[in-house]
């Protein structure tokens, strides 16, 4: 009986001791849950590394992660995964940390490890698809989001990201019907998801279905009235539909919200130009030129607007600014414009030099061939003028926009040859 009592007392004492000891994880979990990440790190760091459990390393990693110490977090996550390689929660957090630290290759490897043992792990598949998408592995992204939709066809985000993957692969592919189909399913499941609406608008725009694109952009803009890009896209559709006057207010709204984007001013200038409001076109193009000094197209368009106003010196100055940054093909157009201005200003030598520069780059340029003939004609160098008129004649014969020049050339050759005869 005495021995039985002794054994009972020992058991009771050990039981009391066990329940009386605080579990160390309770302390650091409390710190972590309260957002005291530094305290959690300090507490766990005091535990001997050889005695730390996978859970200890995981909470240490989570605390470092929350404290924005990503590289240290990655190391701690790795320890947790090494101690408990089958714990998918530890591994997916490790993969996410690897991805955030720029190591997408190891992140993908860890996510695939999870999927091999758990092919329906939605979190791992979603993360894997997102990494494939951001690293431009669009076919792999597409396959991954298709798997997700097999698991849950009402998942609006999977529909959206699948559409985005296909859209980025190649919009000219025959199966690009997948883009609008999945975006429509996305919007059925979440009508207020504006990124899907925007992508649908972009899809229709690339397909030159501007009316449909306009509809999507207009609906999207209801939720993004303070977004200048939303108004710009509406203006762009109206411009493509040749509704230049209607496009102007949309561009002006975009500029009111953000006046620092040269492209907004440039498209506004184009619409004013097409509406033959040249003073306003010059103003818009001038603001674009100030914001984007290295864009030759802006200066070219500004020059064309000045030319319409017959402000020849300003036009020539703009064209000369454009020349500094244009490539070969654009250069010939600009030099031709400068030559034309010099011809109108009776600066025949400057006009001749401009034409010769163009013909050196492009021997059969129709405008330079015609204009140099006119230059020699004005300089009373009739033999040379006839030579260039005859060279220009077959070049401009079938150009619809130069039929008046063609008739002029025919008549002028006859007159000059008659004078010589």
Q: Which CATH number fits the domain that encloses residue 215? A: 1.25.40.10
Look at residue 5 in the predicted model and tell me its pLDDT: 37
Is residue 222 assigned to a domain?
Answer: yes
pLDDT digits (tens, 9 = 90+) for 11-36: 333 333 333 445 667 788 899 999 99
Look at residue 328 in the predicted model and tell me its pLDDT: 58
Say yes or no to pLDDT of 3 above 50.
no
CB 415 within 8 A of CB 403: no
Give the Å distances, CA to CA, from 36 to 33, 48, 236, 366: 7, 21, 51, 76
Work out the burial of residue 246: count CB atoms within 10 Å of its CB; fewer than 13 is exposed, 13-18 middle, 19 or more buried.
middle
Nearest C-alpha neighbor of 227 from the set 200, 264, 196, 191: 264
CB 145 within 8 A of CB 161: yes
CB 230 within 8 A of CB 218: no
DSSP 22: P
Domain that residue 204 falls in: 192-257
Nearest C-alpha neighbor of 94 from the set 110, 113, 109, 83: 110
pLDDT digits (tens, 9 = 90+) for 106-160: 999 999 999 999 999 999 999 999 999 999 999 999 999 999 999 999 999 999 9
Look at residue 1 in the predicted model and tell me its pLDDT: 42
Is residue 228 assigned to a domain?
Answer: yes
Is residue 405 assigned to a domain?
Answer: no
pLDDT digits (tens, 9 = 90+) for 264-312: 999 999 999 999 999 999 999 999 999 999 888 899 999 999 999 999 9
> CB under 8 Å to 5, separation ≥6 — which residues?
none
Residue 214 in 3-state DSSP?
A: helix
Is residue 298 assigned to a domain?
Answer: no
Look at residue 171 in the predicted model and tell me its pLDDT: 53
Nearest C-alpha neighbor of 185 from the set 231, 217, 153: 153
Give the Å distances, CA to CA, from 393 to 4, 137, 390, 420: 126, 54, 5, 19
Work out the burial of residue 34: count CB atoms within 10 Å of its CB; fewer than 13 is exposed, 13-18 middle, 19 or more buried.
exposed
Is residue 235 assigned to a domain?
Answer: yes
DSSP 177: G
DSSP line for 238-270 = HHHTT-HHHHHHHHHHHHHH-TT-HHHHHHHHH
Is residue 243 assigned to a domain?
Answer: yes
pLDDT digits (tens, 9 = 90+) for 190-205: 999 999 999 999 999 9
CB 375 within 8 A of CB 348: yes
Question: How does 129-161 read in b/e, with b if 16+ C-beta sit within 10 Å?
Answer: bbbbbeeebbebbbebbebbbeeeeebbbbbbb
Is residue 224 assigned to a domain?
Answer: yes
Tokens of 125: 């598949």
pLDDT digits (tens, 9 = 90+) for 304-348: 999 999 999 999 999 888 888 776 567 888 888 888 998 999 999
Give the Å distances, CA to CA, from 315 to 127, 291, 301: 55, 19, 9
Is residue 223 assigned to a domain?
Answer: yes
pTM: 0.73
Q: State the pLDDT confidence band at 53, using cuts at 50, 70 and 90.
A: very high
CA angle 43, 49, 52 (to 5 degrees): 70
Domain count, the chain: 1
CB 112 within 8 A of CB 128: yes
Q: What is the mean pLDDT of the chain?
A: 89
């Amino acid at each position: 009986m005495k021995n039985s009592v002794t054994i009972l007392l020992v058991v009771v004492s050990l039981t009391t001791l066990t329940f009386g000891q605080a579990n160390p994880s309770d302390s650091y979990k409390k710190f972590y849950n309260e957002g005291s990440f530094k305290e959690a790190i300090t507490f766990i760091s005091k535990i001997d590394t050889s005695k730390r459990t996978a859970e200890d390393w995981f909470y240490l990693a989570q605390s470092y992660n929350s404290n924005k110490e990503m590289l240290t977090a990655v190391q701690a996550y790795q320890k947790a995964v090494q101690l408990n390689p089958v714990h998918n929660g530890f591994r997916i957090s490790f993969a996410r940390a690897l991805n955030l630290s720029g190591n997408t290759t190891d992140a993908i490897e860890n996510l695939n490890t999870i999927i091999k043992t758990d092919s329906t792990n939605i979190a791992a598949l979603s993360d894997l698809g997102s990494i494939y998408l951001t690293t431009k592995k669009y076919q792999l992204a597409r396959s991954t989001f298709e798997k997700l939709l097999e698991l849950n066809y009402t998942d609006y985000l999977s529909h959206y990201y699948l559409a985005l993957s296909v859209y980025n692969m190649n919009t000219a592919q025959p199966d690009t019907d997948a883009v609008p189909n999945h975006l429509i399913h996305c919007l059925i499941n979440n009508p207020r998801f504006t990124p899907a609406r925007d992508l649908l608008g972009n899809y229709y725009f690339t397909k030159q279905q501007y009316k449909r694109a306009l509809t999507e952009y207009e609906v999207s803009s209801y939720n993004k009235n303070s977004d200048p890009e939303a108004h710009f896209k509406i203006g762009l559709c109206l411009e493509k539909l040749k509704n230049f006057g209607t496009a102007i207010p949309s561009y002006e709204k975009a500029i009111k919200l953000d006046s620092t984007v040269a492209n907004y001013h440039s498209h506004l200038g184009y619409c004013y130009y097409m509406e033959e409001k040249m003073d306003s076109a010059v103003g818009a193009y001038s603001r674009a030129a100030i914001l984007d000094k290295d864009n030759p197209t802006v200066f070219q368009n500004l020059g064309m607007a000045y030319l319409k106003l017959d402000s020849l010196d300003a036009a020539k100055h703009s064209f000369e600014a454009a020349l500094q940054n244009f490539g070969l093909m654009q250069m010939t157009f600009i030099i031709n414009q400068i030559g034309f201005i010099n011809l109108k200003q009776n600066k025949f030598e400057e006009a001749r030099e401009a034409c010769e520069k163009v013909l050196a780059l492009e021997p059969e340029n129709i405008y330079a061939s015609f204009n140099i003939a006119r230059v020699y004609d004005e300089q009373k160098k009739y033999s040379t003028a006839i030579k260039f008129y005859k060279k220009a004649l077959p070049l401009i014969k079938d150009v619809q926009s130069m039929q008046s020049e063609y008739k002029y050339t025919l008549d002028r050759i006859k007159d000059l040859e008659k004078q010589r005869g």
